[in-house]
Structure 1
Amino acid sequence: MRLLFVPLLAAALVVVPGPAASAAQIRVTSLPALQSAMDKANPGDTIVLADGSYSAGSTLSIKRSGTGSAPVTIAAEHTGKATITGSKTFSFAGGVHNVVLQGFKFRNGAALSVPAGASHNRLSRNDFQLTGDGNWVSVNGDDTEVDHNVFQNRTSQGVFLQILGPSDAMAQNVHVHHNYFYNHQFSGDNGGESIRLGLSNHQSYSAHAVVENNLFEKADGDIEAISVKSSDNVIRYNTIRDSKGYIVLRHGNRSTVEGNVLFGSGIRFHGNDHKIVNNYVANSGGRAIVFGSGDEADSGPTSKLHDRPDRDTVAYNTLIGSSSVIDGDGGNFKPKDCVVADNIVKGSSGTLVTLPSGSTVKYEGNITFGGTAGIPSRNVDPKLVKDAAGLYRLASGSPAIDAGTGSYPYAAKDFDLQARTSPFDVGADEYFASGTTRVPLTKADVGPAAS
């Protein structure tokens, strides 16, 4: 006989009812009772763990699946009020699908993993601050959603969130959004990324992941806050501030980096056929956009070397720095058949675009100001004005208005997500006398408490 839990749950917990004959809301007050309830769960059931701190000495196994319209939900009764400590954590069985794990505070030593073969599962509104090393959360299952979590306060090597898959493929269609990545302070040279999307030996596999609307602050565990090592991904609308970590397309091809707002950070890329469009990057030290070094012409499927940038497009971005605002890392294999078009590049001294000699890059429609251009461009004041959110936008009368020269239909929405009118304005911002303007993400927009 099921124990029905009648009182309303916290607002962050959304219960999708299953068939009337089977769906239930079940409240438990111990981990053994939680395991028992999970072992009997039916589609549409919601199991909530009462507020408190619980030491997990054995694995909490999730073996029962829901459906697309009636997931199994395993949740803290109130978001952030049920804390998991101890040496173990939840474990998704292979093949489990349509399960939501929601609202827990993880202060335990074991990493959480969604295995290959498990699909359409969701990690939502959790707080991860683990005591163990390694990768804290690993996603290897297709169609996993990771949203409204916080990953915070780490000093050891390893990543907050690893997305990979089976040995011969990438997890497909993983969606990572509205998470808060905060304070990764690993002091080593490598291996402290906030998100790692793939590995070098997975670079040729398409993932079709979307990483969007996440906030990164103090992402200092690695020079790569988001490290992409797979193909065909979208990294968009994220905010990075107060961090040394960049968005980096380290391995793989055909990814899009779009509409991100970066302060003191930047975008670096290797590989082929990437689109870097509509981003706002303000880096007082320069190097807002970096064409990565080429140690080989084209990486093999298991190579760990740096692939030459080929046929990559950098268009309709607003880039603000000092000198070398668009830069290159060199290497024996220089950027080849790339495009830098219709960007605003504003500096304060020196040469603004400093790609290595021997690069083959098409330049068109760029506006440079505040230093020596270093490329064919219109060297003219773009008339940027700072808005209330600290973003420099086009002012009325800017020479950037209606000045776009190239045809780049994938840049048809500016970084405010407003439809551009032809001819497009140069830079990330399409000028409108009035309308909705975007602001950088803050803590209120992401994490467990956000709407």
Structure 2
Amino acid sequence: MRPVGELSYFRLGVLAAAGLAALVVVATPAGARTREASSPAELSAALSQAQPGDRVEVGAGVYDSAQIHVRRSGTAQAPITIVAKGPVEFTGAGGLDLTGASHVVVQGFVFDNDAGLTVPGDATATRITRNVFQGNPGGADLTVKADDTQVDHNTFQNRTAQGVYLQVVGPGASDMAKRVHVDHNYFYNHQYKGANGGESIRFGLSGRQHAVANGLIEDNLFDKADGDSEALSVKSSDNVVRDNTIVNSRGTLSLRHGWNTLVEGNILIGGSTGIRFFGNNHVVINNIVEDTTGPAMEIGGGEVRDDTTSGTDHEAADHCLVAFNTLSGSDNIVWYESSKKFPPSDDTLADNVLLGHGTAVGTGTGTSLHFTGNILFGAAAGSLPAGAYRTVDPKLARDAHGLLRPGATSPVIGAATGSFPQVTQDIDGQNRPAAKDVGADQYNVATPARPLTTADVGPKAP
């Protein structure tokens, strides 16, 4: 996890720690108590009397009768913590109602119930941590509508019904919850077999696409995210998606709607496709996409050029930067989608390493497209224009974690042709010098970045 201050995209520097500090216990007021409950009635009674800083410990059992209302709020310095002390499972009609309860921590439960869990819009600064969601509810396992919510170290698993694991929306019909932080979660085995409606994360909706969310989605692991063509679907504006790992999955990392999102430092291995985006002003840098059967990077065309209705149409990707990525695949490595009315426009493909056995760049149409400094090996150039690349063996070798890294004699070293002030670090969080290396990795014998594993995420991770 990178420190928040290391965001390399200056417009999203507002995601500083102040926006998330409400979720950190910095003091416990005098008189704070630990309350115990071993039945729904006792839990309801304890929550009705809880004060800021109190800890409500819930004994082992199955809670299946009704939603239990969390009636009290904590403070930024002293949240109310509700924690499972043994195996505590919500099933059937059981669950927690957080309406009106801000600054609350929900920790250690199993949600195998009919309704999942909702963080309503007035439940600000709530933290949902170290729980397991596996209930197959009709909608989402977890719905977030409140500002300053943190969702961390949870497992979402084994969904077969239509619906998403985690959806982030907001109050009203078009707003987004702001400064939501989603980190160190494990999204596993989403096996809904329909054509749509099975994302692991849906961050926004079509009608909310122009709402500024300032969300941060980082350090999550997606494995067997097969419920939808989009494993992680962003449908809002001004977000950061970084340092996530997607493996063995049909679903893409998709910016389906919205503008101004940074996609940085993500690792995608062995999927059907990689990163796909629509809309304006996105920055896609320092990612590794390996061994996809479809395009490793798709730059979207649209039924509309610039959306004004917050509709469901695809919006052409305009004014976007795709730079310093390492991309490999067996199909078109980079695909400029050209079957729709409006092709992508004014997009830059720069200083990427492109590896494969098919075609480096596929496109039918596009306007004012920019190319520079790319290194191509093993694939035909396709629509990549002369002068925008050189064909040379980049001399990459797999490290101990299976990632392709440049060696000491690699021609990628110092070969970047663009300065691109958005790119100050590499995928490892190492600072890049003025003479940057091509691709996601700035050569260094130290290689800290690696694909996330189950030891890094979920309830038992550090």
Normalised by the length of structure 1, the TM-score is 0.93
Matched, 1:426 2:438: yes
For the Cα contact (< 8 Å) 2:63–2:95, is it kept in 1?
no
Distance 1:352 1:32 in 2: 63
Distance 1:68 1:446 in 2: 25
Structure 2 residue matching 1:156: 3-state secondary structure: coil
Report SS of the residue matched to 1:107.
Answer: strand
For these two proteins, the number of residue pairs brought into alignment is 431
Residue 391 of structure 1: aligned partner: 403
2:117 corresponds to which of 112, 119, 134: 112
> Which consecutive unaligned segments of at least 5 residues does structure 2 have?
1-23
Contact 2:104 2:126 (8 Å CA) reproduced: yes
Aligned equivalents of 1:91 and 1:54: distance in 2?
Answer: 13
- Which consecutive residues of structure 1, in runs of 5 or more, have no partner in the other structure? 1-13
2:450 maps to amino acid: V
Residue 416 of structure 1: how far off its partner (Å): 0.9
Q: Measure how far apart 1:372 and its partner are.
A: 1.3
Tell me if the contact between 2:397 and 2:407 (Cα under 8 Å) persists in the aligned partners.
Answer: yes
Name the aligned partner's letter for residue 171 of structure 2.
P
| TM-superposition CA deviations, 1:63-117 (whole Å, max 9, x none) | 2111111110001014xx21122213101113x2110000001111112111112
Change (3 A) 1:284 1:229: closer
* CA shift in 2, pair 1:16/1:41, >3 Å: farther
Please tell me whether the aligned partners of residues 16 and 71 of structure 1 are also in contact (alpha carbons under 8 angstroms).
no
The CA deviation at 1:15 is 7.6
Q: 2:281 aligns with which of 270, 273, 276?
A: 273
Aligned equivalents of 2:183, 2:49: Cα separation in 1? 31
Report the CA distance between 1:422 and its aligned residue.
1.8
1:163 — aligned with what?
168
- Is 1:450 the counterpart of 2:461? The answer is yes
Report whether the alignment pairs 1:407 with 2:419. Answer: yes
Q: Which of 260, 265, 269 matches 2:266?
A: 260
Whether contact under 8 Å (2:165, 2:201) holds in the other structure is yes
Question: 212-221 or 407-416: which moved more?
Answer: 407-416
Q: SS in structure 2 opposite 1:396?
A: coil
Is structure 2 residue 48 aligned with structure 1 residue 39? yes
Q: Runs in 1 of length 4+ with deviation above 4 angstroms?
A: 14-17
Among 406, 424, 429, the residue aligned to 1:417: 429
Distance (whole Å) between structure 2 residues aligned to residue 429 and residue 148 of structure 1? 27
Q: Which amino acid aligns with 1:321?
A: G
What secondary structure sits across from 1:138 in the alignment? strand
- The 5 A counterparts of 1:151-300 are 151-167=156-172, 168-265=174-271, 266-300=274-308
The one-letter code of the counterpart of 1:263 is I
Shift of 1:131: 4.0
**CA–CA separation in structure 2 for the residues paired with 1:213 and 1:358:** 34
Question: Which residue in the other structure is 1:353 paired with?
Answer: 361
Contact 2:337 2:344 survives alignment (8 Å): no
Q: CA deviation at 1:192?
A: 0.3
Which of 415, 431, 435 is 2:446 aligned to?
Answer: 435
CA distance in 2, matches of 1:194, 1:341: 30
**Structure 2 counterpart of 1:363, which letter?**
F
Higher mean C-alpha displacement, 100-109 vs 408-417: 408-417
Q: For 1:391-410, what per-residue CA distance to the aligned partner results, in whole angstroms no more than 9, with x for missing partners?
A: 00001111100011112222
CA drift at 1:293 = 2.7
CA-CA distance at 1:436 after TM superposition: 4.2
Identity among equivalent pairs (%): 48
Quote how far apart the aligned CAs of 1:205 are: 0.6
The verdict on how the C-alpha distance between 1:239 and 1:32 changes in structure 2, with shifts beyond 3 A counting, is: same
Structure 1 distance, partners of 2:71, 2:36, is 19
Shift of 1:295: 1.1
Do the aligned residues in 1 keep the contact of 2:354 with 2:374 (CA within 8 Å)? yes
User: Once the two structures are superposed, what CA deviation does each residue of 1:198-226 show, in whole Å capped at 9, x if it has no partner?
Assistant: 11110111100000000000100000011
Task: Tell me how far apart the structure 2 counterparts of residues 319 and 87 of structure 1 sit (CA, whole Å).
Answer: 47
Task: Pick the aligned partner of 2:134 from 119, 129, 133.
Answer: 129
1:165 maps to a residue whose letter is: G
Looking at structure 1, the residues matched to 42 and 25 of structure 2 have their Cα atoms a distance apart, in angstroms, of: 20
Distance 1:267 1:131, change over 3 A: closer
- 1:129/1:306 CA distance change after superposition, 3 Å: same
CA distance in 2, matches of 1:132, 1:325: 37
